[in-house]
Every structure is written in structure tokens, then in C-alpha cells.
Amino acid sequence: MITTDVKYKVSDLKSDVKPIWCPGCGDFGVLSAVFRAIIDLQLDPSHLAIISGIGCSGRFPAFVNAYGFHGIHGRALPLATGTKLANPELTVLVAGGDGDAFSIGAGHLPHAARRNIDLTYVVMDNSIYGLTKGQPSATSPSDVLVQSTVKHKGRRKGTVGLLNLAQTLEPVNPIAMAIGYNIGFVARAFSARPKELNEILKAAVLHRGFSLVQVISPCTTFFDTYDLWREIAEPLPEDHDPSDRLLAFERALETDRGYMGIFYRQERPSFEDQVAKLVSQPSDAFAPTAIAPLLDAFRR
């Protein structure tokens, strides 16, 4: 993480591209909190890269005066991994939505967790596909009623399976999934609570290794969940111990309570640290003397 002595203002961090999100979209709150975090941590924008996939959240990099890459659907993590490995001095934020992170790109999560690359994944979870006009996503509740859900006998049926009208689809639990994958920093925040969101984002950036922040970021146009989350959002209990993985998992499973805060945190060497160590202390296995017999075998 590179910091700067120059004091930046929010106006310096805003790009010339104005956000085109719908009025009231939760993503505005996330953008403001990211600006605030950059300023509070005195991050140098010339050493900051924001990588995104597809979806309303995918527009994020365009609005920030920093390096950015708007990639393809679900592939933000591999792009961010390459960015970080090419230049480990960069602070790399990954901006995505529930579609990107928990559906089409979900297969990248366990591997980013295993590698523990120093990336901060900010997942703006609105439980809907907003950009494509409101289809249920992996985190939609099974009784979600939106214009694209199946109608049967005149009534909408939630995330009903197309082949079996009696079956609805259970939402994934992103926090439990992340803890299960052993992501080293797992937190949840709410876009309508900027102070807490800002604190969590800063802690996630400062965490050396892969971090995932699920930000509840309601979609005012297709699935407005502000009232629901205002009602159920509450901080994790004061006695919560984020180093206790089992406890974190138990709290993640309490889905009727909208716990906010850092569920799980575990410090371990990041991938870049391990690569740097390997390069600075070459082992015998990589020494020319060890490779020479192998090369000779192929020459014969």
C-alpha cells in the first residue's frame, strides 16, 4: 500500500465521468465510502487500481481518478490477480456485484482465498441482476417477486425452477461461503450506513491478503430492499471474536439477523510475500546444478 503526503479531496478523486446509476442506488453510497477510505488512508491514486466485472457495479472504475479495468462478466478476480502480481506495489480494489462474485465468477473465489493475494473485493450485493432489468440472482430470496420471475396460474412464484414448478431456489450465503473458503478477511456492511462501511473498507484494505466485503447495496429500480435491511441490520455482538472461525460461521448462518461487521479475520502470509521470499531465497531445487541433469536427459 503506497501512501502520499499530498492531501487529496473527494473532488480530486472524482473522474470526469458522472455516475449513471439510478437515483437512490446503493452503489452511490459505496462510491462515497471508497472515496472517503482513499482519503483517510492517504492512498496514492497513482498506485491504486480498481478492477471490475459486469453489472451496474462494473461501472465503478470509470468514476474514480485512478487506474481501472472494466473486465468481462465474472472475471474481475483473475484480472485483479494479474494486476497485483505484475505490480505488487499497487493497492488493488475489485468492484463487483452478486452476479459477478457469487454466480458466474464464483469459481474464482476459493482460489483467490487459497492464494491469499492482497486484493480487496468489494461486492455490491443487491440480490438482483439490475443491469439486465431485474432477474433473480444467487442471493435473491426464494420468494422474490420481480417482473421476470415465472408466473404460474396467474401468480408469480419467486425463484422457481423452470423445469420443476414446485421447487424454488435457495439463495447462497456469501458470508458463510467466504468463511468456508477461508478468505482471510470477511465482512458485511450496508451502503446506507456510510460510517460503518467506511471503517470496514479501511480495515479490509489494510488487511494484508485477500479480503471480501459484502456490501448490501439495494437496487431502487428492480428490488428495493432498503426497508428490509434498515429493519434487520445490526452490529455483530460485542463479544464477537473474528479470529474464531467456527463462531464466525455460526453467526453467518443466522440469516434472520442482518449482522454487520467483521465476521472473520485471519492473518497469514500473502501470495506476493511468499513469491518475494521464494525469489530472494532460491532453493536448491531451482539451482542450475539441479536442473542440469534434467536438461541432459532431454538432450540424449
Q: Give the one residue of 37, 101, 119, 219 binding ligand SF4; rule: CB under 6 A.
A: 219
Query: Does 98 sit near ligand SF4 (CB under 6 A)?
Result: no
Give the interface segment with ligand SF4, choosing from 5-13, 22-30, 111-119, 181-189 (CB under 6 A). Answer: 22-30
Q: Report how many residues bind ligand SF4 under the rule CB under 6 A.
A: 12
Contact region with ligand SF4 (CB under 6 A), list: 1-9, 21-29, 69-77, 177-185: 21-29
Q: How far apart are CA 22 and CA 58, in angstroms?
A: 14
Residue from 126, 140, 149, 225 that binds ligand SF4 (CB under 6 A)? 126
Q: Is 27 in the site for ligand SF4 (CB under 6 A)?
A: yes
Q: With binding defined as CB under 6 A, does residue 56 bind ligand SF4?
A: yes
Residue 275: alpha-carbon gap to chain centroid: 24
Closest CA to 19 of 76, 105, 128, 95: 95
The reply on whether position 221 binds ligand SF4 by CB under 6 A is yes
Minimum separation from the CB atom of position 133 to ligand SF4 (A): 8
Q: Burial letters for 114-130: b for 16+ Cβ neighbours within 10 Å, e otherwise?
A: ebbbbbbbbbbbbbbbb
The CB-of-52 to ligand SF4 minimum distance in angstroms stands at: 13
Q: Which of 1, 14, 22, 158 binds ligand SF4 (CB under 6 A)?
A: 22
Closer to ligand SF4 at the Cβ: 142 or 220?
Answer: 220
Task: Answer yes or no whether residue 25 interacts with ligand SF4 by CB under 6 A.
Answer: yes
Q: Tell me: does residue 137 bind ligand SF4 (CB under 6 A).
A: no
Residue 21 found at the interface with ligand SF4 (CB under 6 A): yes
Nearer Cβ to ligand SF4 (147/243): 147
Would you tell me which residues interact with ligand SF4 (CB under 6 A)? 21-22, 25, 27, 56, 126, 130-131, 219-222
